[in-house]
Amino acid sequence: MPAPLMLLWTDHDKPYREAIARAGLEDGRMRFAFLPRSAQPDEALLAEAEALFAWGAPPGMLARMPRLRWIQALTAGVEAWLARPDLRPEVVLTCARGTHRVQMPENILGALFHITKPYHAAALDQRERRWTRRVSETLAGKTLGILGLGAIGREVARKAAALEMRVIGTRRGGAGAIEGVERALGPEGTEAVLAESDFVLLLLPTTPETENLMDARRLRAMKRSAWLLNFARGHLIVDEDLVAAVREGVIAGAVLDVFREEPLPPEHPFWTTPGITVLPHIGGLHPKRDEMVAALLAENARRFRDGEPLREAVDRAKGY
């Protein structure tokens, strides 16, 4: 019986080839087929592949892979995979959870500094050779509310606490002790977190419970001086409600890194609403991100070959 075959459908194959070689997986007990995303796998390859590594796949492709047992996604979010009608229940889906641990918290802290420090205004002043002294707001003493105290949320909390911020938040597992977090509540504590926070950070997955979470009612539950930061999923926010809330002074503003449609259409009001900062989904980008995902892929490929449980498996009932 031939060794199991994995199809790696990616344009950046070098780090993945190197990770597979370092892990000693080229010993014949598992096979790997690399294909650029511009090329379409033929029917023979689809029929033989038992594992798939890809950003996504055309509609119906998974139905043409009868031996498929495992999909490794390149991202932490897997909503698009879970929405596919051809994703069979027996296929294990794993994500790239954990590969954003360093870069995402740093970019979130960057957003907090962007809100409170006058560097952007100073850069604009420099263009005009204009000397304008400004007083920056402090982060120390402010309350950061994190909706979604998962791996990234906990790392943000630890680093924010080092800046003398008070951190509160919610997590699906309910109340409990977390380093750097003064109070962690279950999802039922969302309203309390919104009411107390100077900055509300969204780090939730998109599920039926979280879609459209930040609507007009919840935005009104925030302080008028508070800022909303979304580094999770665009579907957590009702776009028109946020635009209205910022324009009407219901909240102070927002920093958004994710959107319902990406790239964000040029006619979208987020671009032109004063108080809303648009980031082009840079939160998790890292100069060595492919190497991080490649290490996870190689570990999971070894586990798959040896019949061991795979890391970062997605719970389909939870949606992440």
- Active-site residues, by number, are 233, 262, 281
Cα angle value 161/164/170 (rounded, 5°): 40
Instruction: State which H helix or E strand residue 48 sits in.
Output: helix 43-48
Q: Kindly report the backbone phi and psi dihedral angles of residue 53, in degrees, each rounded to the nearest multiple of 5, phi listed first.
A: -120, 115
CA neighbor of 253 nearest in space, from 219, 226, 216? 226
Structure tokens at 283: 């939160």
Q: Which three-class secondary structure string do you get for 73-138?
A: ECCCCCHHHHCCCCCCCCCEEECCCCCCCCHHHHHHHHHHHHHHCCHHHHHHHHHCCCCCCCCCCC
